[in-house]
């Protein structure tokens, strides 16, 4: 009798097992992210946080969300952001944030930035360094994952790397120890140790600055690599050994070429890409995040403050993008949001991608299935199909006719939960 009573009491204390939430979304037009032709009147069936199937009818027991007058798409992915940064057209803008804003304050601002991105339809982001805010991106990622704050699924790169003296803050008295926007590191052995440190503190990706000094010669953009070949290879080798991937900030030809020789997984910005380098990227399966909009956003301001080369870099990237599309380079959507103010909608990038040579469908894929593949998350993200996370957005019009429709997202679901309606 005593045993029965104890079992009965323990059953009372156990949490009740609730059935997963069951939702059906009626779609007027479905663009599933794979590049397939749009499907009319599809129904997405969702159980819990994942999609059960895509069909044409609603079974009993499903709560219906009617988007039958809308275009439904997978949640968007931005593979180059900085949630701890809030615009840096000039060096003074950057210095102001690192010198006058504490890391806790910057993290608070980041909670607003990630919510803004989510409301614009970005349900996943790769955040490529904290710009001096140490490992606070890991904390923001954790807060999102635990439901403390709303935001996209984050894949973070923590502090990034550059050699001593190659990254701001620069130009201050040698008598004052100034903060830096990166982790400074020199020498192959020290680099391996630093990679291990960042991974131990939660880095999903490792990012480094392959170059920073840019100049024009014979109409092409050149640069001086920051690291030696030995250092760059050690960084990539150690990162891959630990099961992570490498993103290389590379803008001039020499910086891009060294990064590709070293075996990086993604090229960021890439303004100086030429035919030879683009062919190398195709051969090696390296992804490119062009971040077009930020280059346009900052070009005039930086030119006005003494750096006219940024206007030429803007134009060179447009030409490189058109070539890359024709050659079949794996181009992933990435905006460098944070390099421009978060009050600007990241989705403005789409219009430039189409203007420079992509079809609207290719542009959509760059922020869905292609972006998910870059993250090795194609089994979970980037398309609407059975087993995928129910990360779903909707717009009123047809983005295949007007890509700027993606700047006007009206419905956002993440993991089966409606975030914006």
**DSSP track, 292-304:** HHHHHHHHHHHHH
Measured distance CA(189)–CA(355) in Å, rounded: 45
First CA to last CA across the chain, in angstroms?
A: 54
- Which residues on neighbouring strands pair with residue 284, listed in sequence order? none
**Are 138 and 158 within 8 A, CB to CB?**
yes
Per-residue model confidence (pLDDT) at position 15 = 54
Cα 233 to Cα 255, 262, 411: the distances in Å are 13, 5, 44
How far apart (Å, rounded) are the C-alpha atoms in residues 206 and 90? 26
For residues 125 and 154, give the distance between their C-alpha atoms in angstroms, rounded to a whole number: 5
Question: Domain segments of the chain: what residues?
Answer: 16-74+384-420, 76-346
Residue listed under structure tokens 């490119």: 288
The CATH code of the domain at 76-346 is 3.20.20.140
Extract long-range pairs of 102-105: CB within 8 Å, 24+ residues apart: 103/133, 103/134, 103/136
Determine the pLDDT at residue 302: 87
The answer to whether 382 touches 74, Cβ cutoff 8 Å, is yes
d(CA 326, CA 135): 39
Q: What pTM was estimated for this model as a whole? A: 0.95
Question: For residue 168, how far is the Cα from the chain centroid?
Answer: 23
Beta-carbon contacts of 190 under 8 Å, excluding residues fewer than 6 positions away, are none
How confident is the model at residue 13, as a pLDDT?
54
Which residues, at least 6 apart from 81, have a Cβ–Cβ distance to it below 8 Å? 117, 125, 126, 127, 128, 334, 335, 336, 337, 338, 346
Domain 16-74+384-420 has CATH 2.30.40.10: yes
Rounded to whole angstroms, the Cα distance separating 421 from 413 reads 9
- Distance CA(184)–CA(161), nearest Å, equals 6
Which pLDDT score, from 0 to 100, does residue 306 have?
Answer: 84
pLDDT along the chain (421 residues), means of 10: 48 62 97 98 98 97 97 98 93 94 98 98 98 98 98 98 96 95 98 98 98 93 97 98 98 98 98 98 98 93 87 95 98 97 97 98 98 98 98 98 98 98 89
pLDDT of residue 123: 98
pLDDT given at position 16: 56
H or E stretch at 392: strand 392-395
pLDDT at 17: 62
């Amino acid at each position: 009798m005593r045993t029965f009573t104890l079992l009965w009491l323990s059953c009372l204390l156990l949490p009740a097992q609730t059935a997963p939430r069951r939702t059906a979304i009626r779609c007027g037009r479905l663009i599933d992210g794979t590049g397939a032709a749009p499907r009319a009147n599809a129904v997405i069936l969702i159980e819990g946080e994942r999609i059960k199937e895509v069909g044409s009818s609603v079974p009993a027991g499903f709560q219906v969300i009617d988007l039958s007058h809308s275009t439904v798409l997978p949640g968007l992915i931005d593979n180059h952001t900085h949630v701890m940064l809030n615009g840096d057209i000039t060096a003074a803008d950057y210095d102001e944030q690192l010198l006058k804003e504490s890391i806790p304050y910057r993290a608070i601002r980041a909670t607003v930035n990630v919510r803004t991105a989510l409301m614009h339809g970005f349900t996943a982001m790769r955040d490529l360094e904290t710009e001096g805010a140490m490992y606070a991106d890991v904390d923001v990622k954790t807060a999102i994952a635990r439901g403390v704050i709303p935001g996209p699924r984050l894949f973070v790169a923590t502090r990034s790397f550059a050699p001593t003296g190659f990254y701001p803050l620069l130009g201050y008295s040698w008598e004052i120890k100034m903060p830096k926007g990166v982790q400074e590191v020199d020498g192959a052995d020290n680099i391996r140790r630093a990679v291990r440190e960042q991974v131990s503190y939660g880095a999903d990706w490792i990012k480094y600055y392959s170059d920073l000094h840019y100049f024009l010669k014979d109409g092409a953009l050149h640069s001086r690599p920051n690291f030696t070949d030995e250092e760059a290879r050690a960084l990539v080798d150690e990162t891959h050994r630990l099961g992570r991937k490498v993103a290389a900030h590379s803008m001039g030809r020499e910086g891009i070429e060294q990064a590709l020789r070293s075996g990086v997984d993604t090229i960021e910005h890439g303004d100086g890409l030429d035919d030879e380098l683009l062919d190398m990227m195709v051969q090696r399966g390296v992804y490119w995040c062009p971040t077009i909009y930020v280059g346009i956003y900052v070009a005039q301001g930086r030119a006005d403050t003494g750096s006219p080369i940024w206007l030429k870099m803007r134009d060179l990237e447009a030409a490189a993008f058109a070539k890359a599309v024709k050659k079949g380079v794996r181009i992933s959507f990435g905006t460098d949001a944070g390099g421009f103010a978060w009050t600007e909608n990241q989705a403005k990038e789409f219009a430039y991608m189409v203007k420079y040579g992509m079809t609207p469908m290719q542009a959509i894929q760059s922020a869905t299935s292609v972006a998910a593949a870059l993250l090795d998350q194609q089994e979970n993200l980037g398309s609407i199909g059975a087993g995928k996370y129910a990360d779903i957005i909707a717009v009123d019009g047809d983005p295949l006719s007007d890509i700027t429709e993606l700047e006007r997202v009206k419905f956002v679901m993440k993991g089966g939960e409606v975030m914006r309606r």
